[in-house]
Amino acid sequence: MARGVVVVTHTDLDGVAAAAIYHRLAGLVPDVESRVVMTEPYKLHRTLADIGEAERVAIMDLGPNASTFPDTLEAVRRLVESGARVEWYDHHRWDEEWVSKLREAGVRVYVDTTTCAAGVVARYAPRELDAEPDEHVARLVHATCAADLWRWDDPLAPKLFRVVDRYKGARGDEWKRKLIRGFAEGSLWWPDLDEALEEYLRLEFKGFEKALSRTLVRDFMGCRVVFTLKDPGPPSASILGNALAHRLSADVVVIIRKRGRGMSFRSTRANVREIAYRLGGGGHPRAAGAPLRLPLHYRLLSLVYPKARLLYAARLVEEALKEMGGCPRD
């Protein structure tokens, strides 16, 4: 089984922990006896289409985006038709139609919104792998869910949440693979992580101050929305969104990455998954994302006036909120 195993996961703590748990349950050494692919939801359809031959493909902590679901479905159909066993573990909210169509295509889908993705893998992968989760898996799930579900009832949660996001680019990819290997082997913390956490906290403060200086506040139908332009690096979207929501009394925070093509939505009181879904994305009620496709004139303008990205995002969000009659609540 080993050489033909591909694990496709998200790039945050939940995705890293889910991949580590899957490898631990399967008894595989990450990137040695498997192939680990980390991606974002808006890239998932392309990622799956590029996998090639595999005996088993396990997808985790990645929910389909509404705008790309047809392409995602086609990609997994091809994998199944080529002989791959495809498993999908997720905790985001899905359309029932998505689940049905994927299962009809032969995908073994496990969607459970009561836990984080690490928890979904720990709960359902054992039946696929004929394995039993141990105390280390339970401990990793608890810390990961505490961060991902924004409970913070585990002292390890804020530390792991930050160190996973410490590096970006090629270095970040290798760093997260190192974390997957460490977690899979049975470690939760080691000396390298102390240094990463200290540096992250310094950069987090600096990044927050910069994002705060590049905000746009709009009130749409009684819904206060804060848009901010974020540079690569700390703080994470969740930490930044939570801080801005409290500081600026916002119902919704929309984070636009300076070099990205997407919007991240965060809220403590609105169902941002509904907003993201109308804009071709998806996610959780409190944390979601959607693509941001700038028209050519906005792209050109953003080269000299970066806040143009925020202005265009504001137009899209305003239209979505008007259709919904204001901030969507749970």
Report the pLDDT value the prediction gives residue 84, as an integer from 0 to 100: 97
- Identify the three-state secondary structure at position 141: helix
Instruction: Kindly state whether residues 12 and 155 are assigned to the same domain.
Output: yes
∠ CA 3-109-71, rounded to 5°? 80
Which CATH number characterizes residue 165's domain?
3.40.50.2300
* pLDDT surpasses 70 at 256: yes
DSSP 276-327: HHHTT-EE-SSEEEEE----HHHHHHHHH-TTHHHHHHHHHHHHHHHHHTSS
* pLDDT surpasses 50 at 2: no
Residue 199, in any domain of the structure: no
Structural Rg of the chain based on CA atoms: 19
Instruction: Kindly state whether residues 110 and 74 are assigned to the same domain.
Output: yes
Residue 79, in any domain of the structure: yes
The residue out of 159, 189, 219 marking a domain boundary is 189
Cα(297)–Cα(221) distance, integer angstroms: 28
CB contact at 8 A, 302 and 308: yes
Residue 202, in any domain of the structure: no
Q: CA-CA-CA-CA torsion for 88, 94, 97, 99, nearest 10 degrees? A: 20
Report the pLDDT value the prediction gives residue 140, as an integer from 0 to 100: 98
Which residues, other chains included, contact 30 with Cβ-Cβ below 8 Å and sequence gap of 6+? 7, 19, 20, 23, 36, 177, 180, 181, 184
CB atoms within 10 A of CB 329: 10
Which CATH number characterizes residue 242's domain?
3.10.310.30
* pLDDT surpasses 60 at 231: yes
Report the pLDDT value the prediction gives residue 150, as an integer from 0 to 100: 82
Q: What is the pLDDT of residues 260-284, one digit of tens each?
A: 778 999 998 899 999 999 999 988 8
Residue 65, in any domain of the structure: yes
Q: How confident is the model at residue 35 (pLDDT cuts 50, 70, 90)?
A: very high
Instruction: Kindly state whether residues 130 and 20 are assigned to the same domain.
Output: yes
The residue out of 189, 218, 238 marking a domain boundary is 189
Longest CA span, the chain: 56
Question: Domain range for residue 258?
Answer: 209-324
Instruction: Kindly state whether residues 167 and 240 are assigned to the same domain.
Output: no
Q: What is the pLDDT of residues 282-308, one digit of tens each?
A: 888 889 999 999 999 998 998 899 899
Q: What is the pLDDT of residues 118-128, one digit of tens each?
A: 999 999 999 99
Residue 204, in any domain of the structure: no
Report the pLDDT value the prediction gives residue 187, as an integer from 0 to 100: 98
Instruction: Kindly state whether residues 163 and 217 are assigned to the same domain.
Output: no
Tell me the one-letter amino acid at 131: A
Residue 196, in any domain of the structure: no
Task: Give the mean pLDDT of 147-172.
Answer: 92
Q: How confident is the model at residue 1 (pLDDT cuts 50, 70, 90)?
A: very low
- Identify the three-state secondary structure at position 72: helix
Q: What is the pLDDT of residues 104-144, one digit of tens each?
A: 999 999 999 999 999 999 999 999 999 999 999 999 999 99
Report the pLDDT value the prediction gives residue 25, as an integer from 0 to 100: 98
| More confident site: 57 or 284 | 57
Instruction: Kindly state whether residues 136 and 234 are assigned to the same domain.
Output: no
Residue 236, in any domain of the structure: yes
Instruction: Kindly state whether residues 57 and 119 are assigned to the same domain.
Output: yes
Instruction: Kindly state whether residues 183 and 215 are assigned to the same domain.
Output: no
Mean predicted lDDT score pLDDT of the chain: 94
Instruction: Kindly state whether residues 226 and 295 are assigned to the same domain.
Output: yes
Contacts 24+ apart (CB under 8 A), 205-213: 206/234, 207/231, 207/233, 207/234, 207/235, 207/240, 208/235, 208/239, 208/240, 208/243, 211/235, 211/240, 211/244, 211/255, 212/244, 212/247
Task: Give the mean pLDDT of 151-180.
Answer: 94
Residue 329, in any domain of the structure: no
The residue out of 189, 217, 246 marking a domain boundary is 189
- Domains of the chain: total: 2
Instruction: Kindly state whether residues 118 and 219 are assigned to the same domain.
Output: no
* pLDDT surpasses 70 at 3: no
Instruction: Kindly state whether residues 49 and 131 are assigned to the same domain.
Output: yes
Instruction: Kindly state whether residues 116 and 163 are assigned to the same domain.
Output: yes
185: left (phi over 0), alpha (psi -120 to 50) or beta: alpha
Determine the straight-line distance between the first and last CA of the chain, rounded to whole angstroms: 43
CB contact at 8 A, 252 and 225: yes
Q: What is the pLDDT of residues 178-227, one digit of tens each?
A: 999 999 999 999 999 999 999 999 999 999 999 999 999 999 999 999 99
Tell me the one-letter amino acid at 9: T
Run of H or E residues at 223: strand 223-230
Percent of the chain past pLDDT 90, that is, above it, reads: 85
